């Protein structure tokens, strides 16, 4: 069992183990947020790079429409501030 490191220790290369983690690309920074890279990484079927979360509420209207909300109901939610 190895040492338990906080994410910041892994990213900054404070220890020999964390340097290994940085060199292997275990964590990546996306849109200013550090997150785990795709795992496992396979040579013949590589995973794409992680994507950022996007803007808050960017997909809200599309999702609500898929769940059967009417345009008037969605507009009402936006008007009252319940939906971005």
Cβ proximity of 13 and 25 under 8 Å: no
Provide the 3-class DSSP secondary structure of residue 29: strand
pLDDT along the chain (84 residues), means of 10: 64 59 77 79 80 81 95 93 86
**pTM for the complete prediction?**
0.43
* Rounded CA separation 4/17 (Å): 10
């Amino acid at each position: 069992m190895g040492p338990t490191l906080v994410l910041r220790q892994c990213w900054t290369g404070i220890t020999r183990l964390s340097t290994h983690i940085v060199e292997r690309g275990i964590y990546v920074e996306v849109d200013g947020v550090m997150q785990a890279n795709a795992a496992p990484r396979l040579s013949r079927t590589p995973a794409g790079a992680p994507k950022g979360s996007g803007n808050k509420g960017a997909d809200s209207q599309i999702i609500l429409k898929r769940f059967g909300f009417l345009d008037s109901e969605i507009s009402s939610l936006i008007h009252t501030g319940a939906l971005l």
